[in-house]
Every structure is written in C-alpha cells, then in structure tokens.
Chain A
Amino acid sequence: MSETNKMTLIASKGTFDWAYPPFILASTGVAMGKEVSVFCTFYGLNLLLKDLSKLRISPQGNPAMPMKMPFGPKWFQAINFGPKIPNVMWNIPGLELFATSMMKKTMKNNGVATIEELRQVCIEMGVKFIACEMTIGLFGYSREDFIDGIEYAGAATYLDVAHHSTQDLFI
C-alpha cells in the first residue's frame, strides 16, 4: 500500500463519549482504503480493555454536554437540562452512571452503534491497535486486561509509523 494511504490516530481519552471518535475515524479510514494504526496511550488504553461496559460519561466539568431525556413526550425531550442543573449535583454517587445510561439510550434511539460494535468492526477490518507499554505499567494494568490481537510498544514505534503516514490525529 502506498505511503499516502496511511493514517494514524493517537487515542488519549478513556471516557464513554471520547471512545467514539477514534473508533469511528479508524473504521471509516479502513473502509476508505487506508491502513490505520491507533496508538492508545494514557486513558486511551481504556479503549482496548476487554470490558468496555465500565466506561462512563461525566457531566461534571463538562458544560458542553447537552442533557436531554431519551424518553417522554417531544416537548419534554426538547428540554436541555444541562444548564439547569448545578454542576455540583454531579458529585452525587450514581448520577454519573445515570448520565451514562441516558446517553446510551439516546445513542440507541439515534441509530448510533455501540462502542463494542464499532471496535469489533475495526478489528474485523484490520485496524492496528498499539497499546502504550509505558502507561500500562504506570496504571498497573497487565496484558490480560486487554483484548487479543493488539501490539505493545512505545512512543518511538508510533513516531515511526506516523512518519510513513499522511493523516495523523490526536484525540
């Protein structure tokens, strides 16, 4: 494959919402004929965990997050509760889980694939995932925590891959 058709992503975030952009771009990139490598570092390692169900979206310190209910009559669903709820409320245990389940429901209603589905498509289509060895040690993970078929390497490996690529995104 020509060098002009390679793409790399650095996935550095590990919340439920930020799991989407790397998987969407990686799978679409492969679908469009690119050879895609995703370097997962720091919180981005979460994307490679066997169990993705623990990923959360947090409304805390996240004022851009629209908060609309995925059920009820149309007028009710149109209300954005985000600016109406004091941010300190999100300190209450369980509300982060609630917000995550509301977001999952909203995504389902809108025909957005789950992160598990998107990751599976990425793997089937040949996206190469590289887990950052340094952050695995730093955060006390072991290789058993991660899915099979991924590579383990460091910054130099990423930079070498990126050297031959024309599209590189930090997410």
Chain B
Amino acid sequence: MSHQTIDMSGHNCPMPILKTKQALAGMNAKDTLEVICTDKGSTKDFIAFCNQTGDVLISHREQDKQFIFNIEKS
C-alpha cells in the first residue's frame, strides 16, 4: 500500500477533482491519497466525488484555510 499527496492549493473548481482522479488512476486498490485544496466548495465536491466513484473518503478537515482530504482507492 502506498501513500501519495497532491497539493492543489490555489487551484479552483474543477481542477482539484480532475487531478485527484488522475492521481487515483495511477494507484492500486487500498492505496491512499491526501489532497490539499483551498477551493471553498471542495468539501461537498469531494464527498460527492467519492459517492460516485466508490472510493472511500476516510477523512476530511479544514485547517488554516486549507481543506485536507484523505481518500482510499477502492
């Protein structure tokens, strides 16, 4: 199992979701991906994204104007 982080700070909708998808595409099941964003709409979007793709949103938190998501690839 591997872990990757992508920093999408400063990028707005829809780039964080698109780059997340591209990163997940290169990973194996159970690998985890941490995504750091500053897009204020990202929390709802990442919940909806994982809802559709079946990947697991393990955690999400807001910290210093950043939104940090941990996703496990299904």
B14 surroundings in chain A (CB, below 8 A): 24, 27-28, 31, 113, 118
Binding site for B on A (CB under 8 A): 24, 27-28, 30-34, 110-113, 118, 121, 125
Contact A32 B18 (CB under 8 A): no
- Partner of A31 from the list B10, B38, B39, B49 (CB cut-off 8 Å) is B49
Q: With A27-B18, A125-B21 given, is the CB distance from A32 to B11 under 8 Å? A: no
Given contacts A33-B54, A111-B38, A125-B18, 7 further A-B contacts (CB under 8 A): A32-B17, A32-B21, A32-B52, A33-B52, A34-B52, A111-B10, A111-B15
Q: Which residue of B lies closest to A30 (CB)?
A: B21
Contact B10 A32 (CB under 8 A): no
Contact A113 B21 (CB under 8 A): no
Q: Does B5 contact A (CB under 8 A)?
A: no
B16: min CB distance to chain A, Å: 10
Contact B49 A111 (CB under 8 A): no
Contact B12 A110 (CB under 8 A): yes
Contact B53 A32 (CB under 8 A): yes
